[in-house]
């Protein structure tokens, strides 16, 4: 095959391949949030509605409506905003016709968002457009008024499943006079239950220590009472043995009997008389 034929073959092969979409630029907002604790990364959902070219902001909306955009404003990131798509909406591969948003739930994505523009064959967020819309609609001022509520909810999510008494008490102390979602009473009940269980564990541990100390005391008293000529019985730790009776392996202790023939300090010298199973 000559050089021209090789070039032609390569060109035909490449022309038949699908062009892989370029990844969208990383979000500067998410980059800023990464340095913050998780409980401070919360965003406040806001709906931007386009009616005959005029944008308005609202706390509620329908993302299945092609003239509605949903964004999140992040209080701990200077109230900057990012689109708030359903899962996978940022990475959707845009195809011909995908710029039309259907009424199907979850269809809202970068391909059919009015906040995105085509650039070099890819859909890129137009941040300057988003910032202009936020300024025109007063969305930032609207969100500031609801920030305490979302901070409260974000903090609650941080302790929702915890058993950490200190964290639960701190939340209760902070929000005892501001509890719009009525979570304080259930938290107080959980805290009482956690404290009760902790008390039970402490009591059990103390009782177990007492039982161990009592057994040790009785053992020492028994050893001190022994004298030459006494018979002693010693049981080993349980070991695995095959039982002919039940035809399987079982845990059994070995039992040793013997006669004390001498005592020197804490040492007992025993002449073993028999060894057998318990």
Phi and psi torsions of 178, nearest 5°: -140, 95
Q: Are residues 145 and 177 in the same domain?
A: no
Q: Are residues 181 and 264 in the same domain?
A: no
Q: Are residues 68 and 132 in the same domain?
A: yes
Q: Are residues 27 and 121 in the same domain?
A: yes
Tell me, yes or no, whether 45 lies in a domain: yes
Q: Are residues 146 and 46 in the same domain?
A: yes
Number of domains into which the chain is organized:
3
Q: Are 113 and 129 in contact (CB under 8 A)?
A: no
Tell me, yes or no, whether 1 lies in a domain: no
Give the per-residue pLDDT at 59.
94
Distance of CA 219 to the CA centre of its chain: 49
Tell me, yes or no, whether 4 lies in a domain: no
Tell me, yes or no, whether 141 lies in a domain: yes
pLDDT per position as a tens digit, 148-207: 999 999 999 999 999 999 999 999 999 999 999 999 999 999 999 999 999 999 999 999
pLDDT above 90 covers a percentage of the chain that reads 52
Q: Are residues 50 and 152 in the same domain?
A: yes
Instruction: Name the pTM for this structure.
Output: 0.62
Q: Per-residue pLDDT for 15 more than 60?
A: no
Which range marks the domain in which residue 214 is found? 161-225
């Amino acid at each position: 095959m000559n050089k021209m034929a090789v070039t032609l073959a390569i060109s035909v092969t490449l022309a038949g391949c699908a062009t892989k979409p370029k990844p969208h630029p990383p979000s500067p907002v998410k980059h800023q949030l990464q340095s913050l604790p998780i409980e401070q990364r919360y965003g406040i959902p806001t709906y931007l509605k386009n009616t005959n070219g005029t944008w308005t902001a609202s706390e509620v909306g329908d993302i299945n409506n092609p003239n509605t955009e949903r964004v999140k404003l992040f209080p701990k990131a200077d109230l900057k905003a990012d689109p708030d798509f359903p899962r996978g909406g940022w990475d959707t591969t845009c195809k011909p016709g995908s710029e039309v948003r259907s009424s199907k739930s979850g269809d809202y994505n970068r391909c059919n968002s009015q906040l995105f523009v085509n650039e070099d064959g890819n859909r890129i967020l137009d941040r300057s457009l988003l910032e202009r819309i936020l300024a025109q609609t007063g969305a930032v001022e609207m969100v500031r008024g609801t920030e305490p509520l979302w901070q409260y909810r974000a903090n609650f999510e941080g302790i929702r499943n915890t058993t950490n008494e200190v964290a639960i008490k701190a939340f209760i102390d902070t929000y005892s006079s501001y509890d719009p979602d009525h979570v304080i009473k259930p938290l107080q009940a959980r805290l009482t239950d956690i404290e009760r269980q902790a008390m039970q564990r402490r009591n059990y541990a103390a009782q177990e220590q007492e039982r161990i100390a009592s057994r040790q005391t009785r053992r020492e008293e028994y050893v001190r009472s022994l004298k030459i000529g006494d018979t002693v019985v010693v049981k080993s730790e349980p070991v695995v043995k095959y039982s002919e009776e039940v035809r399987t392996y079982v845990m059994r202790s070995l039992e040793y009997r013997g006669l004390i023939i001498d005592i020197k300090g804490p040492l007992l010298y025993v002449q073993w008389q028999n060894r057998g199973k318990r």
